[in-house]
């Protein structure tokens, strides 16, 4: 099972909690996903007043671990302040760090991300940075104190699936001992299987489940797809070939005159 900052989790699927049609739908999706880690935006929920309090109570009842995030933050100062507030509210040092740099693609500001990670790890946070698949940025984040990396595979909520397979493959090869979680852009269970087949440790997603016609059923489908991809990687898959190879032995076949 994955080990993040010394904590073992049971599931390789981390689930976001935004955009569900009702608390009941969210609760059922969480149960059927078998996840034990959910992400929560402090900004979104506290803005809901009493509804925010009810949401926090729902999460506690589900018995899952909370990974607060700094979603929507566009500066280091904003992200650091949000992280500190989240630690007080949720009583956890875990934080998913987002510093958004581009309004249309929601691509991370990697310069601000590294700076924010350095500040937060220095204050005892265990940072899960939402980053790109750039190896240099990844190295800087590790130097800043991060022990987990969360590269995107496509823009947040786009459902486009892996856009740079070579980049994701290279990151796995470059950091074989670092826990890697693919975050953002996954739209189908097959996308999740694909990245898990590369040897990633987990997948974090939200929109693909919350936006489905039946979120609970989709959550269960993703759970199975992620397990399948992880098992396939461990089993040792065949590499693509540029020519046909008969599956039936040629030697010993019947000969007709």
Structural domains in the chain, CATH included, are: 3-235 (3.20.20.70)
Flag whether the pTM goes above 0.95.
Answer: no
Which pLDDT does position 47 carry in this prediction?
Answer: 47
Residue showing tokens 């935006």: 41
Which pLDDT does position 43 carry in this prediction?
Answer: 61
In this structure, the chain runs to a length of 257
Q: Are 195 and 229 in contact (CB under 8 A)?
A: yes
Residue 96 known to be catalytic? yes
For residue 20, which of 36, 41, 37 has the smallest C-alpha distance?
Answer: 41
What does DSSP assign to residue 81? H
Which pLDDT does position 58 carry in this prediction?
Answer: 83
Q: What region, left, alpha or beta, does residue 220 occupy, with left being phi > 0 and alpha being psi -120 to 50 degrees?
A: alpha
Q: Rounded to an integer, what distance in angstroms lies between the CA atom of residue 23 and that of residue 63? A: 15
- Tokens coding 76: 């280091």
Tell me: pLDDT of 179 over 90: yes
Indicate which residue of 84, 96, 147, 253 is catalytic.
96
Binding residues for 1-deoxy-D-xylulose 5-phosphate: 157, 184-185, 206-207
Over range 204-228, report the average pLDDT.
Answer: 96
Q: Are 80 and 120 in contact (CB under 8 A)?
A: yes
Segment 247-256, tens digit of pLDDT: 777 666 666 5
Segment 78-106, tens digit of pLDDT: 999 999 999 998 899 999 999 998 888 88
Segment 231-242, tens digit of pLDDT: 999 999 888 888
Segment 105-136, tens digit of pLDDT: 888 999 999 999 999 999 999 999 999 999 99
Q: Rounded to an integer, what distance in angstroms lies between the CA atom of residue 68 and that of residue 90? A: 8
Over range 36-53, report the average pLDDT.
Answer: 68
Q: Rounded to an integer, what distance in angstroms lies between the CA atom of residue 4 and that of residue 132? A: 19
């Amino acid at each position: 099972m994955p080990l993040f900052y010394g904590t073992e989790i049971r599931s390789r699927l981390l689930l976001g909690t935004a955009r569900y049609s009702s608390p009941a739908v969210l609760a059922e999706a969480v149960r059927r996903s078998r996840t034990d880690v959910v992400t929560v935006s402090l900004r979104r929920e506290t803005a809901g007043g009493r509804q925010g309090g009810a949401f926090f109570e729902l999460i506690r009842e589900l018995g899952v671990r909370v990974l607060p995030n700094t979603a929507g933050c566009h500066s280091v100062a904003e992200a650091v302040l949000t992280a500190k507030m989240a630690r007080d509210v949720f009583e956890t040092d875990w934080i998913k760090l987002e510093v958004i740099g581009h309004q249309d693609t929601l691509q991370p500001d990697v310069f601000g991300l590294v700076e924010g990670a350095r500040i937060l790890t220095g204050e005892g946070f265990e940072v899960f940075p939402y980053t790109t698949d750039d190896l240099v940025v990844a190295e800087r984040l590790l130097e800043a104190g991060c022990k987990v990396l969360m590269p995107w595979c496509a823009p947040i909520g786009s459902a486009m699936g892996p856009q740079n397979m070579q980049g994701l493959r290279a990151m796995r090869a470059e950091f074989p001992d670092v826990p890697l979680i693919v975050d953002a852009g996954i739209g189908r269970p097959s996308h999740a299987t694909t990245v898990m087949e590369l040897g990633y440790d987990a997948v974090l997603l939200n929109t693909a489940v919350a936006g489905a016609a039946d979120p609970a059923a989709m959550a269960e489908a993703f759970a199975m797809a992620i397990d399948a991809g992880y098992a396939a990687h461990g089993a040792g898959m065949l590499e693509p070939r540029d020519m046909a190879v008969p599956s039936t032995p040629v030697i010993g076949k019947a000969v007709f005159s």
